[in-house]
Amino acid sequence: MNQRWAEFIGYRCFLCSEKNAQSGICKRCAQALPRLPEWFCSHCSERLPWGEKGLCVGCIKQAPDFDQTWVGLSYEYPVTVLIRELKYRSGLFLVPVLVSLLYEGLKTNNNLPQAILAMPQSRQRWRSRGFNQALELARPIALRMQLPLINGVHRIQDRPAQASLGANERQKNLIQAFEGRGKFPWDHVAVIDDVMTTGATLSAVAKVLKQAGVTRVTAWVLARTPPTQ
């Protein structure tokens, strides 16, 4: 039996192997996961120098097409381990605890969207993984918030994985990568994704949503990479 599943079946924490961790990781490890610092960009959640508030340099120069970002965790160890386990090793047993960590801050949000969209995945990624990790996160979030989960944006071309590209290459890689199918009746849509690095992918999807009639797009992201990465 795969060791990861053995640990899950035995209710051991995936990170520290402590017993009685029925959600995949124990409470102690969940509480110790790195969050964003207090100072971050009000638009894209990029970290700011200590004590600063407002917009980061990137958003001042050219703001992304989404209007606001909410981030659950910082993409640092051991968050990197959890998300890579989910994405590349079919670690679906971690979905409940990751959803709880994302939902933790969203439940206090007074400006809720009218619908939720999971970050679209290419057919190639779907065939190789057998699931869309963003959809696995979005489905229970939509259920908890009693919001419709929509799927009207599609990734129309298979491209190199964004994680393997630099900032400029990420932008070029996303040209005409998504398309919307029809008009949307919602004014405010939230897009859920697992990891945000430059925000280029989320911005590309937000642009398509706005072309389809949406006026406000919020990015809900499980983890945001630090600037040094």
Cα radius of gyration (the chain): 17
CB-count burial class (<10 Å; 0-12, 13-18, 19+) for 190: buried
Distance CA 175, CA 156 (A): 11
pTM: 0.86
Residue 123 CB contacts under 8 Å (≥ 6 apart), including other chains: 158
Domains and CATH numbers, the chain: 1-32 (no CATH), 40-224 (3.40.50)
- For residue 136, how many other CB atoms are within 10 A of its CB? 18
Q: What pLDDT is stored for residue 161 in this prediction?
A: 54
CB-count burial class (<10 Å; 0-12, 13-18, 19+) for 50: exposed
Distance CA 134, CA 23 (A): 19
Q: What pLDDT is stored for residue 5 in this prediction?
A: 54
Q: What pLDDT is stored for residue 224 in this prediction?
A: 96
Distance CA 15, CA 136 (A): 21
Give the chain's residues under pLDDT 50: 1-2, 6, 162-163, 165, 170, 229
What residue ranges in 43-157 does DSSP mark as E strands? Answer: 68-74, 115-118, 149-150, 153-155
Handedness of CA 124, 125, 128, 130 (dihedral sign): negative
The pLDDT tens digits of the residues spanning 180-226 come to 888 999 999 999 999 999 999 999 999 999 999 999 999 999 999 99
Per the DSSP assignment, residues forming a β-bridge with 117 are 150, 191
Distance CA 216, CA 187 (A): 6
Contact present, 200 and 170 (Cβ < 8 Å): yes
Region for 176 from its dihedrals, namely left if φ exceeds 0, alpha if ψ lies in -120 to 50, beta otherwise? left
